[in-house]
Each structure stands twice: as structure tokens, then as C-alpha cells.
Chain A
């Protein structure tokens, strides 16, 4: 299962110190199987630094001509959500009804996400196959990663973390779960954080297009943005941490 609702952790705000201490190299820690999704197996991929020459699969240096501060377009966002929608559409009507019910439920009622969680792996395999297809253009793959990065960033909020729980990477994976369930669930959480689910995580979603980019082109993509998907990067979402804003989004 890609998501879990296993143990109840003591609420802890994501630790920025722990994040800063991480030095894992994505090229050496990458998991061989993209289906592996658990936190215990975290690959901690990082985006290519702009100072690092981009290389093609053949090893030829590419000039980093991507301008900075690129925002996803409305069309790219629509294509991103449609891609996730298509991947979910491969699952049964019951699963999709359960997924929609998660977005529209009363937050005080008991959560039943078992069927959705069970289907999530297959959905991610479908997404991976689409991204990995040779006819899926590199430019579009980068655009999809840029949208994903922005969506993760936008729900990097204390009020969302208060519901999902998870510290540092755990909260990142919780946001991955929110995105993986599609636009309906994502929009519901943005509007009403109580809709989020405690301890439900999907690590694989967080770097899916980036990992496929690395698999296909030998480098993690530069999305051209100045934001980071790591927890606590969105200082606007963490007003209590405003004094520590200086080191956000630096990796």
C-alpha cells in the first residue's frame, strides 16, 4: 500500500534543523524500484542546482538556459490534474466513489480510505508509465514537476500539518498523498484542512516526474522556480516560524 494510517505520532512540527542536516545524494540513495513508497526507504532526491551543468543521457553538457521564477500556467495545471484523473479512472467506480467521498465528507466522521489506499499503487504505476513513455516530451515532464512542486508548496501549511501530522519528510509525504488523490481532494484540503487525513502518506508522488526525468535523461529537472517542496519552505504557511525564514527553500 502506498499510503498508511499506521501509528499515531505525537504532534511535532517539521524540524528545519533536521532538514538542513540532510546531505543525501539522490544519485546514490535512489531506490531501484519506483513503486517503493515508504518513508523508511526515502531516496531524498534533490533538484539539479542551477550551477550544475545539465547533462543529457549521453553525457553531453547542456546549457542551463531556463529562466528563473517560472510559474505553472493554468493549462499546465489543468493537464497535471487531468493526468491524475486519467490514472484514477483506470480504477473501479467504487474506488473513485470512495476517493470523491473523502473530499466531500464531514471531517468529524470516521475515515474510510482503505480502498483508495489500496488502489493508489496502481494509480502511481499508471502515472509512472505515462511519464516514462518515450513520446512524453521532456519539456512537458518538467512542466508537470513544476506544477507538482507548486501544489506541494501551497499546502505546506501549519494548519494542514496539524491534521496530517508528520515531521519533516513525513509531512512532505502527507502532502504527496493530498496531491495524489486528485484535484477534488486537494482543493478540499486547501479550503478546509480538516479534510486531510492523519498519517496518510505517499512519498512516491512527491518526486514522481522528477524521478522519471532522472531515469530518462540522467538528471533531476530544474523546474525554474525558486521554491522548494521540502516541509516548512512556504514561510507564509508557517507564521510561527517566520523568524527562521532565512533558510527556507535553499535545497
Chain B
């Protein structure tokens, strides 16, 4: 474990708290970790921390965020498909089962293409395509409030 005390500093940095950037930079330098860049919007800072995480953590966070949005999917079969895909993603980050589900998700997205439900399917497809950052970004586009949950998860993962 790196240092759990970093988690609130990371979260404050992403949210853009006053002086948070300087405090975090000092804390990271003390631990011989390259500081994060300042500026931009919270979503940009979130992405900046996100890409520093191991891929397995990125996928886990993307999946957790997406699970909260599955209810946006009206078609129950597609909802079941996305849930199954997230189960597989959480259990096995790669493999032929993921490939088959990825094929089916793209097909399901093609049938819809518009609306929040389609975006959830898209986000699941991106997750299985190995782009968890895109998946998480889409989740935030579907429901802007998701950023709070993602900040908490990203900060905790970074501090681990």
C-alpha cells in the first residue's frame, strides 16, 4: 500500500480545491512520485490520474461506474448482456469469452445508437475493447454526477 493519506489529496486535486495542486505535488515528490500537471477541468485531471493507474484498476473503475448506469437500458435483453459483460470483465480481464461478448455488444449498440441506453452499451463495448478511460468518460457524459464516484475510486486506487 502506497499511502492512504494520499487519497483525499488526490480527490481534492481533481476537484480543483484551492492549493490542492501544490500540496499534492509536495506529497508526491516526498514519495518520489512524479507530480501531476495543474490546470484544466476536473474531468481532465481525473483522466490524468486515471491513466497512471494499472489497467486492471482502470477496468475495475470503469466497470463499477457503468454498473450504476445499467438501469438506463430499456431493452431487458441488452441490459442482461451488459451485466453479463461486466461480470466477465470483473472476473477475467481478457479471453475469448470477452471477445464474443464484445462482438455482441457492438451489435447491440448498432441496433440502438442513440439515447442514454445506447451510450451505456457503447461504454461497455469500449471497456471490452480495452479503452476503460473512454468507457468512464462516456459514463460521465451519461450522468455528470458519476464524476464524484469516479474521483473517489480513482483516488483510492492511486493511493493503494
Interface residues of chain A, those whose CB is within 8 Å of chain B, are 75, 78-79, 82-83, 85-87, 89-90, 126, 129-130, 133, 135-137, 140
Contact = CB atoms under 8 A, between A and B. Distances in A.
B138 A87 contact: no
A135 B107 contact: no
A87 B106 contact: yes
Given A90-B106, A90-B107, A137-B134, A82 B122 contact: no
Nearest to A96: B103
A74 to B, nearest CB: 11
Contact of A79 (B107, B110, B123, B131): B131
B130 A90 contact: no
Which range contains the number of B residues in contact with the other chain? Answer: 20 to 34
B129 A79 contact: yes
Interface in B89-118: 99, 102-104, 106-107, 110, 113
Contacts, number: 46
B129 A82 contact: yes
B137 interface: yes
Nearest to B103: A89
A135 B129 contact: no
Given A82-B102, A140-B131, 15 more contacts: A79-B130, A79-B131, A86-B102, A86-B106, A87-B106, A89-B106, A90-B107, A130-B106, A133-B122, A135-B126, A135-B134, A135-B137, A135-B138, A135-B141, A137-B137
Contact of B99 (A79, A82, A83, A137): A82
A130 B123 CA distance: 12
Interface of chain B: mostly helix, strand, loop or mixed? helix
7 contacts: A82-B99, A83-B129, A86-B103, A89-B106, A90-B110, A130-B106, A135-B123
Interface string B134-157: 100110010000000000000000
Contacts of B134: 135-137, 140
Contacts of B138: 135
B60 interface: no
A87 B125 CA distance: 12
A155 B40 CA distance: 42
Nearest to B141: A135
A77 to B, nearest CB: 11
A75 B106 contact: no
Nearest to B125: A86
A128 to B, nearest CB: 11
B45 interface: no
A20 to B, nearest CB: 39
A86 B102 CA distance: 7
Contacts of B131: 79, 140
A137 B103 CA distance: 20
A129 B110 contact: yes
Given A87-B106, A90-B107, A135-B137, A78 B119 contact: no
A86 B125 CA distance: 10
B130 A78 contact: yes
B103 A75 contact: no
A75 B94 CA distance: 13
Nearest to A132: B113
Interface string B24-48: 0000000000000000000000000
A75 B113 contact: no
A135 B130 CA distance: 15
Contacts of A126: 106, 110
Contacts of B102: 82, 86
A62 to B, nearest CB: 16
